[in-house]
Structure 1
Amino acid sequence: MNPKPQSVEEYFSWFSGEILEKLQSIRDTLRREIPEAKEVISYHMPAFRTTEVLVYYAVAKNHIGFYPTNSGVSEFKKELAPYQTSKGAIQFPHDRPIPLDLIAEIAKFRLLEAKERAVKKKKKA
């Protein structure tokens, strides 16, 4: 069974070298681009959350997974063409640079989407 981190710091402590540098660059990018989001552990992965979880990310054997939900993948389908994707996931291979500009754009899109959803929810209430 996989270990379950209690914090983002604990999760990061499991890695070193280039993998840790890549994780930290993703974290720094997300902190900068969506500063109102809170860092949390969700589904045993680091994530950024406002009214909902915007994005998750995690290390896998051959890649770093980035999980911006289905809309985050479908909205950037053209830009994500060089990467392996599925319904709500993107794989960034360990042997290639992390596309931080693309991660930033996806995160900002998800923040806007979450804000719009929260406004709609409030109007219904």
Structure 2
Amino acid sequence: MTKLSDIETIDAYIDVFPKPVQKLLESVWQTIRKAAPDAMECINYKMPTFRLNGKNLVHFAAYEHHIGFYPTPDAITAFAAEIADYKNAKGSVQFPLDKPMPLDLISKMTAFRVKQMEEKVKTKPSKAAPGKNFMESLSAPAQRALANEGIKTLKQLSAYSEASLLKLHGFGKASLPILRSALAHAGLGFKQ
């Protein structure tokens, strides 16, 4: 049986669960994708995660009786009335598995987070043009590993295989899904 700690992609995460839960997770995943089409997908904190501008946008995860949705405290506050019927905390809300999944609400909360993050980017000076900020999504050790190798662009990154990157000191396998997504967004891929 696959352990959650070994999972690197959202597809693999969903595959761990029973079919009825897989369908719910798939619907949540696709809903978030539509609401945040420019976000990168990865596994972070052992949960499916969407990242935008190098920061976590939202997470979701399956549990025995619910799907947890983690859109940050700001979104929980902004949608307090809409989530009042669900168990919620500072940065999370629980949607029961035995009730219809509130996909419209998930979409609205995700869109709220996208807008919030875009506004933050507008108020900060841009560090990199779109598509060039893939390094910001990586851990500091992974950034150093790529920098030590002289990799600064996606084009340079595409000259490497996944296996060769994993041999770099400080580069972990958790960075691969982030880089796959960045390369795919740019129409590139790892060297085979």
Give the TM-score range, shorter chain. Answer: over 0.9
Q: Which amino acid aligns with 1:85?
A: N
Q: How far does the alpha carbon of each residue in 1:29-49 deviate from its partner, in whole angstroms, 9 at most, with x for none?
A: 111121111111111100111
Residue of structure 1 equivalent to 2:81: 78
| Whole-Å separation in 1 of the counterparts to 2:87 and 2:100 | 14
Larger strand percent = 1
Residue of structure 2 equivalent to 1:34: 36
| Whole-Å separation in 1 of the counterparts to 2:80 and 2:4 | 32
Q: Greater CA radius of gyration, 1 or 2?
A: 2
- 1:105 is matched with which residue: 97, 105, 108? 108
Q: How many residue pairs get matched?
A: 122
Runs of 4 or more, structure 1, over 6 Å off, are none
RMSD over equivalenced CA pairs, Å? 1.3
Give 1:121 shift: 2.4
Q: Provide TM-score, normalisation by structure 2.
A: 0.61
| Whole-Å separation in 2 of the counterparts to 1:122 and 1:70 | 25
Q: How far does the alpha carbon of each residue in 1:30-81 deviate from its partner, in whole angstroms, 9 at most, with x for none?
A: 1112111111111110011111111100011211000001011110000001
Structure 1 unpaired stretches of 5+? none
| Whole-Å separation in 2 of the counterparts to 1:14 and 1:78 | 33
Q: Provide TM-score, normalisation by structure 1.
A: 0.92
Q: Which amino acid aligns with 1:28?
A: Q
Q: How far does the alpha carbon of each residue in 1:72-118 deviate from its partner, in whole angstroms, 9 at most, with x for none?
A: 11100000011000000000011111100000000000000011112
Give 1:119 shift: 1.9
- Of structures 1 and 2, the one with the larger relative CO (CA 8 A, separation 6+) is 1
Structure 2 unpaired stretches of 5+? 127-192
Residue of structure 2 equivalent to 1:60: 63
| Whole-Å separation in 2 of the counterparts to 1:14 and 1:3 | 8
